[in-house]
Structure formats: structure tokens, C-alpha cells
Structure 1
Amino acid sequence: MTELEPKRFLTSIFRVAVAAADPELTIRSHLPEKPKGRTIVVGAGKGAAQMAAALEKAWDGPLDGVVVTRYGYAAPCERIRVLEASHPVPDEAGLAASRALLDAVSGLGADDLVIALVCGGGSALLPSPPQGLTLADEIAVNEALLASGAPISAMNAVRKHVSTIKGGRLAAAAHPARVVSLIVSDIPGDNPALVASGPTVPDEASREDALMIVAAYGMKLPDAVMAHLNTPQAAAPRPDDKRFAGNQVRLIASAAVSLEAAADEARRQGVEAIILSDSIEGEARDVGSVHAAIAREVATRDRPFRKPVLILSGGETTVTLRARGKGGRNSEFLLAFALGIDGVSGVHALAADTDGIDGSEDNAGAFADGETVMRMRTAGIDAKAMLAGNNAWTAFNAVDGLFVPGPTGTNVNDLRAILVR
């Protein structure tokens, strides 16, 4: 272990985890049978363009279609049109993209096939407010959800009831064509209906559930949105709707697979690896404190795992906004973690979003060790105050602790890797 450079080691773990979710490696084994009629491709998410490019290489018949991804995340495609829109705040380009996807599946017949390429980030990229609501209303909903601290399942229960494309509505618009959804899951528990708010996969959450979630988290939504949610027209299609009969859902990549690949890579480099869970949720700073307690116990008492060891976890934490600082859920997790291991030697950690972006800045996450808080203090940064102000990006930027790999082309949620030497 003495020859291991922690940042280099942790970066290698991240890259192997991302590679395990590379659509070019995973999509080929999940292709549907070719139809008698046309093959239309639609898709949305931060990795949708890379999925489209991989599908073009793997599919030897005719196809066309359109996908939407985040600005700067496009990949070259020959037959599938790639659109770009704003994330995490929806914009007019996203509105146009939603219309393009709905247009692409309209007028299809029973002999036609729709291949839906869906991954994380699609919710913001597909704004499509119902009649009577505006893009501004949908942006307000999105901002309220992101600030609420609600888990992703609750967020998507609300989102799909304020949309004409989410909650299975895109698949319903394609009826009677068969829809096969190829999904890269960034959702704890890998429920495909929650990825990108399920444009082609309905779930059981009802309009009444959405209203209860709004009340439970104290969300302040526009009056027009609340009026819409209180009408039967807001109800999303149910999973037993006959329009979905014959459709298929295929999970082509997930956090679980990527964490196993990361663990195998650690062992290949001579470090035992433990996976805590691939579906951890909760407030980012609280999850960070718990992970710090585990790391301290290993570092000081060799329990519950013997060192050297790599502790891995995945899932999607949430951040309740208390101020308007710069950050994201991974950097906030890691700042709480850094405070929890302050002064503990031999502990090094990386927390990063596998899509390459944590929050709205250009970093995927950050690195921390037992001296991170001390370095912040030397730089004039009060780590506790930064955490209180949701300003983790600023704190790690001050000590050159940000991790900036760039867009990865996939998204299987967050990766937390803690090395105890």
C-alpha cells in the first residue's frame, strides 16, 4: 500500500466504474428484434447522445429519430438527430426538444418499433407543461423540488403530473407502436419509472400522492400549478393502461454493476473493497457524517473492516438549500465527511457524480483527506460555515480539491470511494 498515490488510485476507481456503464459496451446485448415497419429512436438524458451513437453502431437496419442531451454533451450521430437543452434549469430549447420527441412518435402503426434511450438528467431536459401552464411554471416546480430535500422518487411523482411527456406519456403517444426502453439507471433501487421521470415507463404514483408530497415538504408552487394538480386532467397514465401492453424495459447499466467493477479494480490493485450499498439516500451532509464515522472506526480500531480497505457506496443523496452557495450533493457530502475525519490520518476519499457534473459547476465532485479541513483553515476558509451555507464548491476550490473529469457520456448516479490505509 505504501506505493499507492491516493488521488491517482481513487481516480482509477472512478474511471473503471464509469467504463462499466459505457453504452457502447452494454447496449449491444440489449437490442430488441427488428420490426416489420419503421424503427424510431427517441431519448433524453445527459448520456443520451452517447447512447444514440452506440445504438447506431450496433443496429444494422434502418432507423431515425431524435434525442436530447445537456448543452456540451452531444456526440456525433449520422441518423439520429441530437438536440441540446439546459440542465438543471429547463429552457426554451428543452420545450422544442419535447415537441420533437412527441412528433417523432406520432402517427406510428402496430408494426413500428420505438427504441427509447433514457438516462439521468432527462427530467430537466424535457419540459412540456400542460395546457394552462408555462415554462416558467415548470421551472418554478423544478426549483422547488431541488430545494426541498425530497428523495428522487418523490420529486418525480410531482414532475410527471405537471407534464405532457413524463410518467409514460411519451410511450402512450407512440401507441400502437411497440416501445422498448433501454435505460441507464441513476436511481437508488433502479426503478426504471423514476429515471428521467419515466417518459416511457409509467409508475403507480398518483395525483393524490403528488399533492401529499407537495404538502409534506412545504413546497411553494405557483397557484396555476396547484390548480392543475387539483384537477383530474393532471392524472398520469397507470401501469396497467392497455397502451403499454407489449412494451419492454431493459436496464443496460446501473450503479450496482459499476460498484462491482470498482471493487474488482481495487482488488486487482491489492486493496480489499467493501460495498456498503448502491442505493443510499438522505441528506448529503448527514450521509457524509455517517460515512466519516465508519472511516474513523476503521482507521483507529480496524473495525468493522480491516485496513487497508476501499469502502464504496452509491445512490443519490439530496441537499436542502439553506443558502445560495455553490456546490452539489457530492461536494456537500464530502465537506461533511472532511469535517468528520479532521485530523485522522490514512483516510482519503472521492465523491463524484458518474456523469461528470455535480450541481451546476464543472466539477464531478471532490477529494478529501484528514488534512483537508486544516488546509481550508490555512486558506481562510471556515469549513463549518461553508457547509452551513451550501458552499462546498467554494471550500474545495480554495484548496485545489475539486475533481473535474469532464462529461463521461453515462450516468449511474453517485460514486463514493473511501480509502483507509
Structure 2
Amino acid sequence: MKTYLVGGAVRDRLLGLPSGDRDYVVVGESQDAMLARGFKPVGRDFPVFLHPQTGEEYALARTERKSGRGYRGFVVDADPAVTLEEDLQRRDFTINAIAEDADGNLVDPYGGAHDIERRVLRHVGPAFSEDPLRVLRAARFMARFAPLGFSIAPETQVLMREMVATGELADLVPERVWQELVRALASPAPAAFLRTLHACGALAVVLPEVDALYGVPQRAEYHPEVDTGVHIELVCDMAARLAPGDDLIGFAALTHDLGKALTPPDVLPRHVGHESAGVAPLRALCERLKVPAAHRQLAEIACREHLNVHRLFELRDRTVHELLARCDGFRQPARIAQLVLVCEADKRGRAGLSDCEYPQGPELLRLHAAALAVRGADVAREGLEGPALGEALARARIAAIATARARTAQ
């Protein structure tokens, strides 16, 4: 049985990165032969098997022929006559179209190793344009590899713009868009994902609420980068720096300023009330992409409350308590720490301010801890229940916040 290691494992080894899952392609075999060897079938749309001992994935070499619109519109041929080169030709980028035999020899018919050396993301061939999901994959790979110096080949950029112009990206199902977005937000440079999609016009299709922020001016004394779209890029990269791999923080960072796209032109570059204005487009985005509840909830809290956190030192004790309560910080304490990370990313995600301090963060965490230490049992009295107990608990927590602040002042 001729087997070759393919895809990401080979690419990452050549890049000097730790490799994840190891995937193999099998040449010259049939599905019946694989079953006879004890492999377990798992592929729904094409023949993929799990090795009976290692559990690693082995796929039969195959070709794909376009049969309809969208990323599902393909007819798969996994005949034993399909060659390794034909299988590699159907792949998206040259850096992913490299195989390695059992002796460690590379099979690289499309120059992927050379493109790795040059740090270029290039499509394998014209079949790239048949799958609209590949536009998002290009952007997601840039979110991962831009810090290594990668750029997209000019001819691939042209092809991506042409794919957007055909309207095929409209056929992408929300779950696949969300999957690529989440992986990009958990990458080291999510801003590269946004820039790539914006440059080819795809961002306006898959994330129109975010795309609308580009070109919207902000006050330069607070935002030296001025352009709101650029600010979002900086915030997303800062979120990735503060909370590596955390797509929950990343999504809230991405969507915290959506209301700025709705600011009337005659009041620009000021954005009074953009926090509340951003809730509606955020909810629309979440509904369209079927965003999980945890991501929705934190994103809405960050959208609504980020300016209140920035103004923490101006807030009264009672107002701080109300902020914590609105965020459900007493029932879900982790929410406050998450909100702090998003707000710090917002503050430091500005041109020239990436290394600035954010004292509001540790202060809010300290006040939250003081209030959280007060329990219902601490204020319960005989006959006190319902709203009366809730009011007593709130008063005690506000007092705890005041005491914590007084200690700081001393």
C-alpha cells in the first residue's frame, strides 16, 4: 500500500513549527481493499478511513470535479487509478500540496517547498476558484502565517477578487464562515484575516457589519489611527496578544465598536452613543452566523459597557455595582475578567498605544472581588426575603466597593 504524509504536517515541519494531526493519502487502493486491511470508514463525502492501530486519517487519492455552486458542488472520483500528483493538484495552496513518502522524500510537483522558503501563499491551479471557502481559508492562513512573513501571491489576490465578484461567496453556509472566523480569531494575527478579506471585497459579503467600519473616522486625539477599521484590526491583534488562542475574547474585540458605522456623517468624527447603537448590528451578525451563546453574551456586554469600564475611576460606587450586575458578574464571575481583557485590548489597540498601561483593568477586578466576597448569608436577617434581601445585599456590596476604594486612596 503506497501511503504519503500530506498537507499541514509536511508544511509545518518545513516551517519548523510543531505539527498537529498527521493525515495520509493512499494511492492505488480501493475502498474494499482498505476495509479488508481493517481501516474504519469515516468519510461522508469522500473516502476517508481511520488506521486500525494509530487512529490517524488515511484518505484515498481523489480528484474533484465542479458540479454546482458553492463549496459542496463537487463530484469526487477516488478510483485506484488516481495519481498522487492529481490528488495534490486539487488542493488549495502550494504549501499544502506537498507529500512525503515513508523514507522522508518530498513529492512537490507544484513548488510548495519553494513558496515556503519565499513565504508566499499561492493557489495550486485554476480549480482554486471552484470553492468559495478557499477565500476564507486564504485569509485564515494569513492570520496564522503573517507573523512568519507570509504574503499572498499577486495572482492569487486577483483570483480571489474575481471569485468575490461572481457572487459565489453568498453560497457559503453560516457554520463554515463561523468556523473559519473562530480559527482566525484564535490565531496570532487576526488582523491579517480582516485585511485579506477587506482587500478582495469578501469582508463585505461575510462580515458586512465589520466591513462598514473601514473609512469611518474617529477623533485623532483618542485614536491616532483615525480609521475605525484599522482600529478594529489593532484591537483584534492586541486581544490575540493578551489572550492567545481565545476566540471568545477575540470575537468580543472584533465586534465591540460596530455602532460606529451607524454614526450620522454630520457628527463625525465623534461617536456619541455608539455603544448602544452597536447592539443591533451585533445581534444581526450573531443571528446570521449562528454564533454560540457564550460568544454572543460576552460580545454584547463588551459592546454595551466598554466605555463605562474606560471611565471606571469616574463612576460612583453604586454605578460600579450596577455595571457588575448588568454583566451578571455575581452569578458568572469569569465574565468580568473577560470584559477587562476586551477593554484593555480596545485601549491598547490604537496606533502608538500598544504598550500603554490600563489601570482600569486591575482596579475593576479588585472592586469586583470585594463585592463578590459579600454573600447573601452575610446580610440575611429574620424575615428578610425576596426584593428586600436583594436590596440589602446590593447595599452591602456597594459598601464593600466603597471600602476597597478608600483603602486605595490611603
Bigger fraction of residues in helix: 2
Higher Cα Rg, which structure: 2
Q: Which has the higher contact order (CA 8 A, sep 6+)?
A: 1
Please report the TM-score for the alignment, with normalisation by the length of structure 1: 0.28
Please report the TM-score for the alignment, with normalisation by the length of structure 2: 0.29
Bigger fraction of residues in strand: 1
